[in-house]
Structure 1
Amino acid sequence: MISAAESATHADDVATLAAAFFAPPAELGDLRPVGADDLPADYLTLLAHSGHMTVTLEAWHESLVDVAVAGEVREPDRYARHSLLARRSDGRVVQSGIMRIDLTGLPERVRQAVELGETPLGRILIRSNLLREVELLALWRIAAGPMLAKELAIAPGTVIYGRSARILVEGRPAVELLEIVRP
């Protein structure tokens, strides 16, 4: 299990990842590193694993999830986006996430599907049959800032939790993630 000290080593990486979409950082909220032992039971199940968040959320909420792109940054071989995952059953947003992906080495069909922004990343990677591994890097306690609170339909300052992770594709670090969930 991951500790608060291990999570703390990734604070700068998460700040850099979030800065492209949450400026100033207070719009996202106050992120504090925590360990798995610090998570409430629901969040422990949702966050402390090495699986794709798409699969985990769909199982937890007993509903497929759809993606809505809230912002994106395109470069020749890199793509970043801030997106929301919502339950298909009722449209409730259950995740605010940021991903940055190195597109080099990905098959063209995968690259196009990612940049199209119509399918959750986890579903794209699973369907592509590429060898992939999700590495849990850190866990976060977040006092929601105004923008995050609005996205998740919660009051500013509400404490929620998230994780940062990395996805290896074909053995190569390809995706950086910040995933903030709502049970």
Structure 2
Amino acid sequence: MNPLDELSRLTTLFSSPGALIEHAEHIPGALAPEPYKSLLVHEHHMTVTMEQFHGCKVNVEVLDESQQGDIYTRKIILKRSTDNVPVQFGLVRFDFKYVTAAVRDEIMARQTPLGRVLIRHNVLRHIDLGAILEISAGPELAALLQMPEHGITYGRLATIFCNRSPAVDLLEVSSQLPA
């Protein structure tokens, strides 16, 4: 699937794409500027990567969610535990049929970032990096990440395979960082 089509599919889960993202361009991972390249161009959980980069735990704030059968979607912000500053915006589409009830229940409790839940429950997982995106923030994303409207940041599309099945589609967008 074209990365921008996947982006559109995820951004229309909860809001109009224009309010969230003014413009997005698929770029080669090698061309992403630092520190975004180190934060996004890998096959690891963003929860762990953000915690290492910011030097503290991150907490999840679920902004919106929906469930239809086994398909659970949510819009989130990860915030530093030390000062509550937003470090990442995310859109998640999770097919719960690939995980246990305990994993599903902990995710539905809305208290723990997804990556930490999967690691804690030792879910056999692989993260497939789909695309790196240069993003111009629309008004909603700018407000959520406390950055200027039209400001440039970077994100990624990825799929998490749980127990060898494509269980989670993600859009993960970093807060704006100094170069």
Aligned residue number for residue 121 of structure 2? 128
Distance 1:48 1:37 in 2: 8
Please report how far the alpha carbon of residue 114 of structure 1 lies from its aligned counterpart in structure 2 after TM superposition: 1.1
Question: Which sections of structure 2, spanning at least 5 residues, go unmatched?
Answer: none
Aligned residue number for residue 161 of structure 2? 168
Aligned residue number for residue 68 of structure 1? 61
Please report how far the alpha carbon of residue 22 of structure 1 lies from its aligned counterpart in structure 2 after TM superposition: 2.3
Aligned residue number for residue 28 of structure 1? 20
**Structure 1 residues 105, 9: CA separation in 2 closer, same or farther (over 3 Å shift)?**
closer
Question: Which sections of structure 1, spanning at least 5 residues, go unmatched?
Answer: 1-7
SS at match of 1:26: helix
The counterpart of 2:73, out of the listed 67, 73, 80, is: 80
The counterpart of 1:12, out of the listed 2, 5, 30, is: 5
Structure 1 stretches of 4+ moved >4 Å = none
Please report how far the alpha carbon of residue 13 of structure 1 lies from its aligned counterpart in structure 2 after TM superposition: 1.3
Percent identical: 37
SS at match of 2:91: strand
Distance 2:25 2:56 in 1: 30
Aligned residue number for residue 92 of structure 1? 85
CA deviation map 1:57-82 (0-9, x unaligned): 00000010000001111111110000
Distance 2:96 2:151 in 1: 35
Distance 1:49 1:106 in 2: 23
The counterpart of 2:103, out of the listed 100, 110, 118, is: 110
Aligned residue number for residue 5 of structure 1? none
The CA RMSD over aligned residues, in Å, is 1.0
